[in-house]
Amino acid sequence: MYIPVILGTARLGRQSEKAAAFMLAQALSFGLESEILDVRDFRLEATDNTETTEKARRWEEAVLRADGFIIVSPEYNRGYPGELKMMLDLLFRQYARKPVAICGVSSGVYGGARMMQQLKTVLIALHMLPLEDAVYFSKVQDLFTEDGTIKKESYVIHARKMLEELAWHAMALSKAREQSDQDGARDQKRI
């Protein structure tokens, strides 16, 4: 299963990069096919249609290929970054019926919990399935060594639990989408 990690901020000096690298390593060790999709690499001037730019087409290809997503995003002023919102708003039907796990990042004690609540409402509107299991990277400035190694082993346990749930939903929803596509093709032949 292909489940990319979306790094949801393009801000210089972002601490979320370490959290995204950690989640990528966990996804790969779990046996998932994954990579980091960095909003910095898909920055758009506006939420244009996918036909208008190469970046938008690349984003659509990645979303269509994905069986689910892991979003790693910081909390800025109790919300999520604008670049992430622009990327999400670029598409609609391509996200449908895909699970998504959210990892919050903050310099405070809540680990992005308020951002997660806002983001979940957007994901639901896109017909995605945001999971309850999450990883909260609290006090991120103290959580990683300079080389990016996480200092607390408990994060490995939390990430593993979240990935188990995500993989289960990704597999189940992938089969359901495939069955729905087959049923729709049969219905088209009858018309």
Per-residue pLDDT of the chain (191 residues; tens, 9 = 90+): 999 999 999 999 899 999 999 999 999 999 999 999 999 998 776 655 555 678 888 999 999 999 999 999 999 999 999 999 989 998 999 999 999 999 999 999 999 999 999 999 999 999 999 999 999 999 999 999 989 999 999 999 999 999 999 999 999 999 998 887 776 655 555 55
Instruction: Write the CB contacts of 59 (distance below 8 Å, at least 6 apart in sequence).
Output: 37, 42, 50, 87, 90, 91
pLDDT for 8 equals 96
The domain limits of the chain are 5-190
pTM of structure: 0.91
Q: What sign for the dihedral angle of Cα 147, 153, 154, 159?
A: positive
Phi, psi of 53 (to 5 degrees): -135, 155
pLDDT for 57 equals 87
pLDDT for 189 equals 59
**What Å distances lie between residue 127 and 30, 92, 115, 120, CA to CA?**
26, 8, 19, 11
The CATH label, of 3.40.50.360, 3.30.2350.10, 3.40.1390.10, 3.30.950.10, for the domain at 5-190 is 3.40.50.360
| Rounded distance between C-alpha atoms, residue 123 and residue 100, angstroms | 8
